Amino acid sequence: MRARSFPPRKMDSLEIKGGAPLHGEVEISGAKNAVLPILAATLLTREPCVIRRVPDLADVKTMCQILESLGAKTKIEGDTVTVRAEKVQDFVDYELVRKMRGSLCVLGPLLARLKKATVSMPGGCLIGTRPVDLHRKAMESLGAKVKIEKGYIIAKARKLVGGEMFLGGRAGPTVLGTANAMMAATLAEGITVIEHAACEPEVVDLGKFLNSIGAQIQGLGSPTLTITGVKELGGAEHEVIPDRIEAATYAIAGVATKGEVTIKGARPDHMKAVIEKLRECGVKVEQSKGKLTFKRGRDLKSVHITTLPHPGFPTDVQAQMMAFMTQTPGISIITERIFESRFTHVQELERLGAEISIEGPSAIVHGVQNLSGAELMASDLRASAALVIAGMVAKGTTRINRIYHLDRGYERMDAKLKKLGGKVRRVK
């Protein structure tokens, strides 16, 4: 797969006829936020790496294009991606990186392998400022000199040497920054200690992949990571964890539409905060081997939610929960502590008839129960999912434009919703 040209983005829309309860079973795909740094990590070794349970997403294709542009060879067969990076270069062009912020995670492995990296400042969803200062701090803690020039991050080092670094930011630990630091430290001389590291399941999954190719990382899942550098890394096979955000999205869609949805393949231990809040709302959650079933109880209740780093309530589920909160009686308060601009969906929800007011970092949601279909504009990945949920609840027809955002993070969402009984169709 060697893609060098970039055709105009297709502006597909999603047309939804609301009022149909979702029923049935949905299979959860591999986690987008895990697979992107894992694919980037294949740059650390000359040996082939086989990654399984890879979701068919626009962001995954973009990452494969980035790897190809750097000189790696990638092969996609179903949900399996094989990468062999025998020879790689150190320059990543803006035209690729601008499509998603996750592309920044090639910085660490390139610097570790080549001792130099030039990576364009990233793009992605418009959900607030996401500075690169902690990424820069991490690379400098390992002995690199880093500067930002003409829109590019330029990092160089004679050699990388282990050290101590603190990665706590204004809104908590940096997930992508932790990933970059881990990857860079695997080939650094000596021992690296990362304090206030991100504890997200996706970071743990990256660490497990790195250990499988020969890295020595201890403390995965804790705020302190200890990495003993090695001289070289090899190849391995790895299966990506299920996508907890996708699982939460379908669970919420099911109960919002007064249906009953069984999630197959999700990890309940990755979803504790979401499950707890849904139960607090009056949702019944049943667990059997490999499956989670979500259905509405007799009476729903309003809840208060604050987004926090893992194991707190994930910011990536905030918008979907807000759509659901329009259906609960009383007042719910949703406070966003991770990204300051992650309420872009509010205006669109109001077009459907939602009553939501913004006060600083909080959204006050008045349950209205009745929404009516309208034409909407998607602004980012998770906002798009919230609009889909609201559209499925609303009476009449809702049309959501710019759904390429959805294609970045949800594998065949329209097909999965149809299988559950949703009246959804993609419109060119």
Residue 66 dihedral angles phi and psi, to the nearest 5°: -65, -45
Sheet with 73-77, strands from edge to edge, namely 73-77, 80-84, 49-52, 236-239
Which amino acid is located at 235 in the chain?
G
Residue 253 CA neighbour count, 13 Å, CB half? 34
What does the block give as tokens for 278?
């849904």
Q: CA of 54: how far to CAs of 16, 32, 79, 82, 319, in Å?
A: 28, 8, 5, 10, 25
Which residues have a Cβ under 8 Å from the Cβ of 46 and sit 6 or more positions away? 84, 85, 86
What does the block give as tokens for 176?
């992508």
Known catalytic residue at 125? yes
Classify strands 397-401 and 172-173 as parallel, antiparallel or unpaired: unpaired
Question: What is the widest separation between alpha-carbon atoms in the chain?
Answer: 65
Please name the residue that has the structure tokens 């919703």: 417
Q: Which of 48, 80, 83, 79 is nearest to 65 (CA)?
A: 83
* DSSP characters over 3-55: ----PPPP--EEEEE--PPPEEEEEPPBPHHHHHHHHHHGGG-SS-EEEES--
Alpha carbons 400 and 387: distance in angstroms, whole number: 7
Name the active-site residue from 105, 125, 199, 281. Answer: 125
CB 114 within 8 A of CB 43: no
CB 181 within 8 A of CB 166: no
Which residues have a Cβ under 8 Å from the Cβ of 356 and sit 6 or more positions away? 322, 326, 346, 349, 350, 363, 364, 365, 366
Residue 424 dihedral angles phi and psi, to the nearest 5°: -130, 135
Classify strands 23-27 and 260-264 as parallel, antiparallel or unpaired: parallel
Catalytic residues: 125
